[in-house]
C-alpha cells in the first residue's frame, strides 16, 4: 500500500515564500503530483515530478528526491488567492494500472 505524510496546516504572509513537505512510503513508485483545492472546489493539477530535482512553473516549484522518498511544493510571492488545500499524490503501479493516492492535504492560509 501507499502512505503519505504532509503537514495539516501552514500559515504564511502575503508576498512570502512557503514550502509544503511530503514524505511517502510506497511500492511501484512512478512519480509525485501536487494538486490545489479551494474550499468547495475541485482539485486542480499543479505539477508532477517523475525524476529527482526541481520543476518550476511560474510562482510554483516542486521538488522530488526518490532516494529519500520526499518531495516538496514551493510557493513564492504568496497571494491571498493561494489560500487553499494542497495535496501531494503518489503515482504508483497497483492492481494492474497506475493509481494516484492522495495525502490528507495541507491547508495553507495566507494572511495580509
Partner 1 sequence: EAGVAQSPRYKIIEKRQSVAFWCNPISGHATLYWYQQILGQGPKLLIQFQNNGVVDDSQLPKDRFSAERLKGVDSTLKIQPAKLEDSAVYLCASSSRGLADNTDTQYFGPGTRLTVL
Residue ranges binding partner 1 (CB under 8 A)? 31, 33, 41-45, 48, 50, 87, 89, 91, 94-105
Q: How far is the CB of 105 from partner 1 (least distance, A)?
A: 5
Complex with partner 1: residue 67 or 95, whichever CB lies closer: 95
Distance CA 42, CA 12 (A): 23
**With contact defined as beta carbons under 8 Å apart, do 74 and 88 qualify?**
no
Complex with partner 1: residue 35 or 78, whichever CB lies closer: 35
Q: How far is the CB of 16 from partner 1 (least distance, A)?
A: 25
* Other Cβ atoms closer than 10 A to 15: 11
Complex with partner 1: residue 17 or 52, whichever CB lies closer: 52
- CA end-to-end span of the chain: 40
Complex with partner 1: residue 68 or 95, whichever CB lies closer: 95
Q: Are strands 60-65 and 70-75 parallel, antiparallel or unpaired?
A: antiparallel
Q: How far is the CB of 99 from partner 1 (least distance, A)?
A: 6
**With contact defined as beta carbons under 8 Å apart, do 52 and 65 qualify?**
yes
Amino acid at each position: 500500500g501507499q502512505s503519505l505524510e504532509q503537514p495539516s496546516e501552514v500559515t504564511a504572509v502575503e508576498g512570502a515564500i512557503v514550502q509544503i513537505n511530503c514524505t511517502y512510503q510506497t511500492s511501484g513508485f512512478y512519480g509525485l503530483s501536487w494538486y490545489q483545492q479551494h474550499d468547495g472546489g475541485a482539485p486542480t493539477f499543479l505539477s508532477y515530478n517523475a525524476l529527482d530535482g526541481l520543476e518550476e512553473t511560474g510562482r510554483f516549484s516542486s521538488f522530488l528526491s526518490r532516494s529519500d522518498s520526499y518531495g516538496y511544493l514551493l510557493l513564492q510571492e504568496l497571494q491571498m488567492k493561494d489560500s487553499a488545500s494542497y495535496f501531494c499524490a503518489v503515482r504508483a503501479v497497483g492492481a494492474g494500472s497506475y493509481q494516484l493516492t492522495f495525502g490528507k492535504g495541507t491547508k495553507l492560509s495566507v494572511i495580509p
